Amino acid sequence: MTGSGDSARPATGYPGSALGLPQAGPGSIARLGPRVAALVIDWLLCSLIATAFLGYRFGGQGSGGWAPLAVFLVENVLLVGTLGSTVGHRIMGLHVSKVTGAAAGPVPALIRSVLLCLVIPAVVWDKDGRGMHDRLAGTIIRRVR
- Written as tens digits, the pLDDT of the chain (145 aa) is 444 444 444 446 899 999 999 999 999 999 999 999 999 999 999 999 999 999 898 876 777 889 999 999 999 999 999 999 999 999 999 999 999 999 999 999 999 999 999 998 888 999 988 999 999 999 999 999 9
Domain range for residue 76? 19-39+56-143
Q: Kind of pairing, strands 94-98 and 139-143?
A: antiparallel
| Number of domains into which the chain is organized | 1
1 found inside a domain: no
9 found inside a domain: no
50 found inside a domain: no
49 found inside a domain: no
Q: Tell me how far apart the alpha carbons of residues 70 and 85 are, in angstroms, rounded to a whole number.
A: 18
137 found inside a domain: yes
